[in-house]
């Protein structure tokens, strides 16, 4: 009596700052940090039976973490994704597809995993694919997730900033999460841990933005055009930072518009998944 098709919506997620913590168990591996779940997200429709094909906005794509998720189910399914956010530019799209694929596959194959188990399945797939370290658990929480300890639901502890706000962003280009994480992670981790201490002492959206901006600078992750955009916003009295990890600049309220940019507009997402 399993339905043939199941649709799940997952929010986008911008990480403001992070530090990577690795462990032998992928479910205990991940990142600490904080970010924004966004109303601009992805809609994932899983259909059974299927041949494992994943299409994103109508085009077949290789989405390794989602393929790893599908490999954990006994029945073959197909996945169709509609996304309101660009891939590879710091919105956690790969994690969102992995999580939506997990929830949908569970529904259509008659598997009986719990939410925590499905979040763990998607988190593990992201870690093993090297495409993300903390988006999945953040997307499953929604709002403004603070990742206190790394890993899937059995390991990672989360908190959140209880505030919502308009978010603007401009995206320039992709940035490989796997390549950045393969580089020298020590300065990133030092800056990420410092930012987390700062935000835990003052858990507000303004402090989140300030800490994210300092992290981007201290971790030396700013690319040319991203740095220029942030500086232009700051010259106009606003605040902005870089989505980790993509060539995307985000700001609250109208700070990008007011500095003359033509940003996409969304809002911090309430809640987390929507399961149809």
Q: In this chain, which of 179, 202, 220, 228 binds its own copies, going by CB under 8 A? A: 202
The reply to whether 271 sits near its own copies by the rule CB under 8 A is yes
Give 95 or 153: the residue with its C-beta nearer to its own copies. Answer: 153
Give 102 or 242: the residue with its C-beta nearer to its own copies. Answer: 102
d(CA 178, CA 271) in angstroms, rounded, equals 29
Query: What count of residues does the chain have?
Result: 276
The reply to whether 258 sits near its own copies by the rule CB under 8 A is no
Q: In this chain, which of 33, 88, 90, 143 binds its own copies, going by CB under 8 A? A: 143
CA proximity to 254, closest of 169, 168, 170, 193: 168
179, two tokens: 């390549």
d(CA 204, CA 70) in angstroms, rounded, equals 38
d(CA 116, CA 113) in angstroms, rounded, equals 8
The reply to whether 276 sits near its own copies by the rule CB under 8 A is yes
DSSP state of 268: B
Q: Name residue, tokens 């966004």.
A: 38
Q: In this chain, which of 27, 101, 146, 167 binds its own copies, going by CB under 8 A? A: 146
d(CA 249, CA 245) in angstroms, rounded, equals 11
Q: In this chain, which of 149, 176, 204, 236 binds its own copies, going by CB under 8 A? A: 204
Q: In this chain, which of 39, 61, 217, 274 binds its own copies, going by CB under 8 A? A: 274
Q: In this chain, which of 116, 149, 223, 236 binds its own copies, going by CB under 8 A? A: 116
DSSP state of 33: E
Return phi, psi of residue 218, to 5°.
-65, -35
Give 88 or 153: the residue with its C-beta nearer to its own copies. Answer: 153
State the minimum distance, in angstroms, from the CB of residue 197 to its own copies.
14
Give 88 or 120: the residue with its C-beta nearer to its own copies. Answer: 120
Q: In this chain, which of 64, 130, 160, 264 binds its own copies, going by CB under 8 A? A: 160
195, two tokens: 């930012």
d(CA 221, CA 179) in angstroms, rounded, equals 12
Residues in the interface with its own copies (CB under 8 A) total: 30
Cα dist from 218 to 3, 32, 87, 170, whole Å: 50, 17, 26, 22
The reply to whether 112 sits near its own copies by the rule CB under 8 A is yes
Angle between helices 93-109 and 115-129 (to 10 degrees): 140
Q: In this chain, which of 114, 149, 176, 223 binds its own copies, going by CB under 8 A? A: 114
Give 76 or 203: the residue with its C-beta nearer to its own copies. Answer: 203
CB environment 42-61: b (16+ within 10 A), e (fewer) = bbbbbbbebeeebebeeeee
The reply to whether 115 sits near its own copies by the rule CB under 8 A is yes
Identify which range of 40-48, 55-63, 104-112, 208-216 contacts its own copies by CB under 8 A: 104-112
The reply to whether 161 sits near its own copies by the rule CB under 8 A is yes
Binding footprint of its own copies on the chain (CB under 8 A): 103, 106-107, 112-118, 142-143, 146, 153, 159-164, 202-204, 270-276
């Amino acid at each position: 009596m399993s339905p043939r098709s199941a649709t799940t919506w997952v929010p986008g997620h911008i990480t403001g700052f992070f530090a990577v913590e690795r462990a032998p168990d992928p479910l205990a591996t991940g990142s600490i940090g904080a970010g924004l779940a966004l109303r601009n997200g992805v809609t994932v429709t899983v259909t059974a039976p299927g041949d494992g094909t994943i299409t994103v906005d109508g085009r077949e794509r290789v989405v390794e973490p989602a393929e790893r998720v599908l490999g954990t189910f006994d029945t073959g399914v197909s996945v169709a994704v509609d996304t309101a956010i660009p891939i590879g530019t710091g919105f956690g799209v790969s994690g969102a597809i992995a999580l939506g694929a997990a929830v949908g596959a569970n529904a259509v194959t008659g598997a009986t995993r719990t939410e925590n188990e499905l979040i763990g399945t998607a988190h593990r797939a992201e870690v093993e694919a090297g495409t993300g370290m903390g988006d999945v658990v953040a997307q499953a929480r929604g709002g403004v997730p603070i990742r206190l300890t790394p890993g899937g639901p059995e390991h990672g502890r989360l908190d959140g900033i209880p505030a919502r706000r308009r978010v603007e962003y401009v995206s320039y280009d992709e940035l490989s999460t796997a390549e950045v994480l393969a580089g020298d992670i020590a300065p990133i981790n030092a800056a990420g841990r410092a930012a987390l201490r700062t935000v835990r002492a003052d858990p507000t959206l303004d402090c989140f933005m300030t800490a994210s901006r300092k992290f981007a600078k201290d971790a030396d992750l700013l690319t040319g055009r991203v740095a220029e955009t942030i500086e232009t916003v700051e010259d106009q009295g606003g605040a902005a930072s870089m989505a980790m990890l993509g060539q995307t600049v985000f700001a609250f309220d109208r700070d990008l518009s007011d500095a003359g940019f033509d940003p996409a507009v969304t809002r911090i997402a309430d809640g987390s998944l929507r399961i149809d």
